[in-house]
Amino acid sequence: MKAVSLSRYLIEEQRAKGKIPADLRLLIEVVARACKSISSAISKGALGGVLGNVGTINVQGEAQKKLDVLSNEILLEANEWGGHLAAIASEEMDDPHPIPHRYPKGEYLLVFDPLDGSSNIDVNVAVGTIFSVLRCPEGVTEPEPEHFLQPGVRQVAAGYCIYGPSTILVLTVGDGTVMFTLDRDLGSFVLTQDSVRIPEDTAEFAINASNARHWDAPVKRYVDECLAGKTGVRGKDFNMRWVASMVADVHRILTRGGIFMYPIDAKCRDKGGRLRLMYEANPMALIIEQAGGAAHTGYERILDVQPLGLHQRISVILGSKHEVERVALYHREPQ
C-alpha cells in the first residue's frame, strides 16, 4: 500500500468530509514542520549544546531549559508569517504573541506547550510538543488573552508530537485520532495509525505516587483498590507506570489503554491543579475523547470547563473510559 503523508491525509480529509479548510491545513503542516526542527535539535543532545538550563524562570514558576526556549522560538518563527493565525499563546510566555504587523493575519489562534516533560530532557527520556487550535472570535483583529478563553469543546484541532525512539505526530481535527511517524530519511510524516481506539477497560494506571499523602479521598480510594489487586474489590492485578512526561504517558494510553491522573490535591490546591488547562489538559482531552476515551477533572468533563485564565491549572484524569468514569463516580459518592 502507498504511504499516506500528512499533506495527503489532510487534503483527502478535506475532500471527503470538508473538515480541513486550506488555512487550517497550512497551520497543521507548519506546526508539523516546526516539530521536525525540534525533533532534530533534541536528537543532537549534548553534541548540539542544547542540554541544561538557561537560568530564567518562566511564567509557570519553572526553571527554563535551553530546549524549552529553543522549541518556543522554533514554533513562533514557523507560525507567525504564514497568514493563518491571529495570535499565538505559549506555556513559556506570560502574554500572547501578536502576529507582527508586516504579516497578514488569519482566523485561528494557536496555543502550545513547546516542550512538555522538559525535566526529562537531560536524562534522555521522551518529551513532546502539545498544541491546540481555536478560532479567533469574529471581528477581533488584535486578540487579547480573553479571546483565547474558550472551552476545550471549541478546539478545531489538537495534537502532540512525541520525541521518543521515533518521532510521532498524533492529531485530531474532531474526526477521530490519527498517528503519523516521522520518516527521517524522507523528512516526512507518514500515516501509521488511522482511527486510534483506547480500550474501555484497563489494568494499568499512571500517577505520581510520591504525592499520595496529599491526595483527596476519591483518588486515594481508586489507587488503593488498584493496589489491592486480585484479592481486592477490583478482582484483578494492576500495573503502574509514570514517565513524568505527559505526552509519553498519554501516548502509552493511546497505544495500549490505561488511566493517567494528575488530580488536584492538597499540595497544588491553591493553584487549581498541576497541569495547564489550555496547553495540556484541553488538547489531550480532545485527542483522548476522539479515540473513545474520557477526560475529567473528577467533577466535570475537561472539555466543558470555561477557562478563566490563559495559564490556569486544572485537575486531570484521562484515559480508558470505564476507569475514568469510576474515578468520577468516586468523586460524586459521599466520603
- Nearest distance from residue 307's CB to ligand F6P, in Å? 17
Does residue number 92 form part of the binding site for Mn ion (CB under 5 A)?
no
Give SS3 for 96: coil
Q: Are 181 and 189 in contact, with CB atoms under 8 Å apart?
A: yes
Residue nearest to ligand F6P (CB): 246
DSSP state of 142: S
Does residue number 132 form part of the binding site for ligand F6P (CB under 6 A)?
no
Residue 244 binding target from ligand F6P, Mn ion, none, CB below 5 to 8 Å by type: ligand F6P
Helix (H) or strand (E) holding 284: helix 282-290
- Nearest distance from residue 23's CB to Mn ion, in Å? 27
Helix (H) or strand (E) holding 331: helix 321-332
Does residue number 177 form part of the binding site for ligand F6P (CB under 6 A)?
no
- Nearest distance from residue 131's CB to ligand F6P, in Å? 14
CA 29 → CA 22, 35, 79, 179, distances in Å?
10, 10, 10, 14
Task: Quote the CA–CA distance of 108 and 98 in Å, as a whole number.
Answer: 12
Task: Quote the CA–CA distance of 106 and 120 in Å, as a whole number.
Answer: 35
Does residue number 42 form part of the binding site for ligand F6P (CB under 6 A)?
no
Residue 208 binding target from ligand F6P, Mn ion, none, CB below 5 to 8 Å by type: ligand F6P
Q: Count the site residues for ligand F6P by CB under 6 A.
A: 9
Task: Quote the CA–CA distance of 106 and 137 in Å, as a whole number.
Answer: 11
Give SS3 for 121: helix
- Nearest distance from residue 106's CB to ligand F6P, in Å? 28
- Strands (DSSP E) found in the chain: 53-57, 63-65, 85-90, 97-98, 108-116, 127-135, 157-163, 167-172, 177-183, 188-193, 204-206, 239-240, 259-262, 275-276, 294-296, 313-314, 316-319
Task: Quote the CA–CA distance of 135 and 156 in Å, as a whole number.
Answer: 7
Task: Quote the CA–CA distance of 57 and 90 in Å, as a whole number.
Answer: 14
Task: Quote the CA–CA distance of 105 and 6 in Å, as a whole number.
Answer: 24
Annotated binding site for Mg(2+): 91, 113, 115-116, 280
**Quick one: which of 157, 246, 253, 303 contacts ligand F6P (CB under 6 A)?**
246
- Nearest distance from residue 246's CB to Mn ion, in Å? 6
Q: 58 is written with which cell numbers?
A: 518562566
**Quick one: which of 29, 68, 80, 113 contacts Mn ion (CB under 5 A)?**
113
Does residue number 312 form part of the binding site for ligand F6P (CB under 6 A)?
no
Nearer to ligand F6P, 99 or 287 (CB): 287
Does residue number 72 form part of the binding site for ligand F6P (CB under 6 A)?
no
* Stretch near Mn ion under the rule CB under 5 A, chosen from 45-53, 106-114, 139-147, 181-189: 106-114
Does residue number 68 form part of the binding site for Mn ion (CB under 5 A)?
no
**Quick one: which of 56, 124, 166, 208 contacts ligand F6P (CB under 6 A)?**
208
- Nearest distance from residue 179's CB to ligand F6P, in Å? 19
* Stretch near Mn ion under the rule CB under 5 A, chosen from 33-41, 111-119, 215-223, 318-326: 111-119
Q: Which residues bind Mn ion (CB under 5 A)?
A: 113, 116
Q: Which residues bind ligand F6P (CB under 6 A)?
A: 116-117, 119, 208, 244-246, 262, 275
